[in-house]
Amino acid sequence: MTFTKSLQGLALSVAFMSTAAFAGEITINSDHSDPVPKKAMEELIADFQKANPDIKVKWNNFDHEGYKSAIRNFLTADAPDVAAWYAGNRMEPFVKAGLFADVSDVWKANGLNDQLKSASSSMTIDGKQWGVPYTYYQWGIYYRKDIFAEKGITPPKTWAELLAACEKLKAAGITPFTIGTKALWPTGGWFDYLNLRVNGYEFHMELTSGKVPYTDPRVKAVFEKWGELVKPGYFIANHAAIDWQDAVPQMVQGKAAMYLMGNFAVATMKDGGLKEDQIGFLQFPQITPNLPMAEEAPTDTFHIPAGAKNKEDAKKFLAYVASPEAQSKMNATLGQLPVNNKAEKPQDAFLKQGFEMLSGAYALAQFYDRDANAEMAKAGMEGFQEFMVKPDKADAILARIEKVRQRVYK
């Protein structure tokens, strides 16, 4: 950075007081507010500074929920040098508004096209990469191993086996699936997986990017499959009143046996008193035979805002975050999976299973509320929630979602 530029930076930093941005200093805004992510982030920054002694990192840690609206303000008004965000369509509005900088050169210079291959499609818009992924985690069905063994159920691999298992559990007085839909998004996991298994990844992506109407018979087929679980009461009652954490006790107490969730739920189950050998993990069963299995793996990312004052050092940070060493260490702390395929394999039993599943996956979906446009996601998930309460209204619900789709993607 030239002298005048650094002077300007100094002047700006005095003016704003919040983001100092002269040469050798970068500002990072992120939402690592929970204790574990916070620790991982602290370690990452300390290691980065050790590796680059001439760069000083200033880190603004935001509350997780507040960050989602804060980012809109700081990207336009007072951009940091690095900002945390999410892959897929969640970053699209910022890319389209010209608020994220193109970082394709970081990818090229560090061989990331190869090392971060699994996430490259979700980081690419218009043929360019707009950020660097640093972690993801698997979704799947977590089940009570001990209950399955007691009732003589083998982990289902197909839809028919899953239905048979549900019937057996229900007959034994155990609700097959627990879920809490108050915050809406847990319903998205169900829709995604059913759609991925019934119609496949390509159709799912077409649908979530608004190219297919929700009244399409293929979407109806998804709801029919879903109805096969909803109508016989295979989900816990009153799920609309509770959050996802409040649904965990049902499983801990043995009142429910399965939970379709992200890997973060394991920690909550263990906190609730389940031992590791009581919890099993299984891939969402096959529905349409011979359809390649795509999985759900929401990816967290770092970006450089277009208004960043120290892009040069910010790119160094991105390259560091993408490196196998940094990703190994960070994800060991986070208890999640590194995106870099040269990184060390995880030790944790569930992560190991997840790692194997995801490395063999046909493709990765980000999650309904990240793949679909935000407004669309809200209307869609509200419809899914209603369907899980009133499965007979499927047609009316789909017609309503379709109305929103036509408006959002006009």
Partner 1 sequence: MTKAVSSPPGFWTKNQQKLAPWLFLAPGFLMFIIYVLVPIVQSIWISFHDWDGLGEKVWIGLGNYVELLDDDSFYTSLKNNVIWLVLYLLSIPAGLAVALFLNQTVTGIRLYKSLFFFPFVISQVVVGLMFTWFYAPDFGLFSKLIEWLTGEQVAVLADERFVTYGIIAAGLWPQTAYCMILYLTGLNNINPEQVEAARMDGAKGMKLLWFVILPQLAPATFIAMVVTVIGSLRSFDLVSIMTAGGPYGSSQVLSYFMYEQALSEYGFRMGYGAAIAVVLFLIMMVFITLFIVRMLSQERNA
Facing residues of 126 across strands? none
DSSP one-letter code for 300 = E
- Contact in structure between 147 and 311 (CB atoms under 8 Å): no
- Contact in structure between 322 and 132 (CB atoms under 8 Å): yes
Based on CB atoms, which residue is closest to partner 1, 230 or 332? Answer: 230
9-48 binders of partner 1 (CB under 8 A): none
111 burial level (CB within 10 Å; 0-12, 13-18, 19+): exposed
Contact letters for partner 1, residues 61-100 (x by CB under 8 A): ----x--xx--x--xx----------------xx-xx-x-
Q: What does the alpha-carbon distance between residue 188 and residue 184 come to, in Å, rounded to a whole number? A: 7
Number of chain residues interacting with partner 1 (CB under 8 A):
34
Q: How far is the CB of 45 from partner 1 (least distance, A)?
A: 27
Q: What does the alpha-carbon distance between residue 402 and residue 150 come to, in Å, rounded to a whole number? A: 44
222-281 binders of partner 1 (CB under 8 A): 237-242, 246
- Tell the residue number behind the tokens 């097959």, with chain if given: 176
303-362 binders of partner 1 (CB under 8 A): none
Fill in the amino acid letter for 51.
A
Taking CB under 8 A as the criterion, the residue among 220, 275, 345, 407 binding partner 1 is: 407
Q: What does the alpha-carbon distance between residue 144 and residue 253 come to, in Å, rounded to a whole number? A: 10
371-390 binders of partner 1 (CB under 8 A): 374-375, 377-378, 382-383, 385-386, 389
Q: How far is the CB of 66 from partner 1 (least distance, A)?
A: 10
Three-state DSSP class for residue 124: strand
Q: How far is the CB of 248 from partner 1 (least distance, A)?
A: 13
Based on CB atoms, which residue is closest to partner 1, 96 or 157? Answer: 96
> Where along the sequence are the contacts to partner 1 (CB under 8 A)?
65, 68-69, 72, 75-76, 93-94, 96-97, 99, 181-184, 237-242, 246, 369, 374-375, 377-378, 382-383, 385-386, 389, 400, 407
